[in-house]
Amino acid sequence: MSATASSNAPAETTLTDKQRAILVYLRDNADEQTYFKSRLIGEELDMSAKEVGTNMPAIQQGEFDIEVEKWGYSSSTTWKVTA
């Protein structure tokens, strides 16, 4: 029996505190907004843009109720978030 991609994807319980904070922030704001800059997420969550960017792949690769796609790099990485 082979492992599936979903069994390798991070579950919410395996996320770090920072990753959970980012996920909650994105969920809370995804209805009002589609594009998020790492710098602005960091300002809201008291993290640096680099911390946000470092932690975002766990959210991208996880199976959550939102989808996150790296979108652009102008003056901070921009993320496209869809519910």
The CATH number linked to 29 is 1.10.10.10
Residue-level pLDDT at 74: 75
Residue 3 inside a domain? The answer is no
Strand spans (E) along 1-83:
35-37, 67-72, 78-82
Residue 4 has pLDDT above 60, yes or no: no
Residue-level pLDDT at 83: 87
**Displacement of CA 76 from its chain's centroid (Å):** 14
Residue 27 inside a domain? The answer is yes
Q: Which domain holds residue 24?
A: 15-82
pTM (two decimals): 0.83
30-81 tens-digit pLDDT: 999 999 999 999 999 999 999 999 999 999 999 999 999 999 877 789 999 9
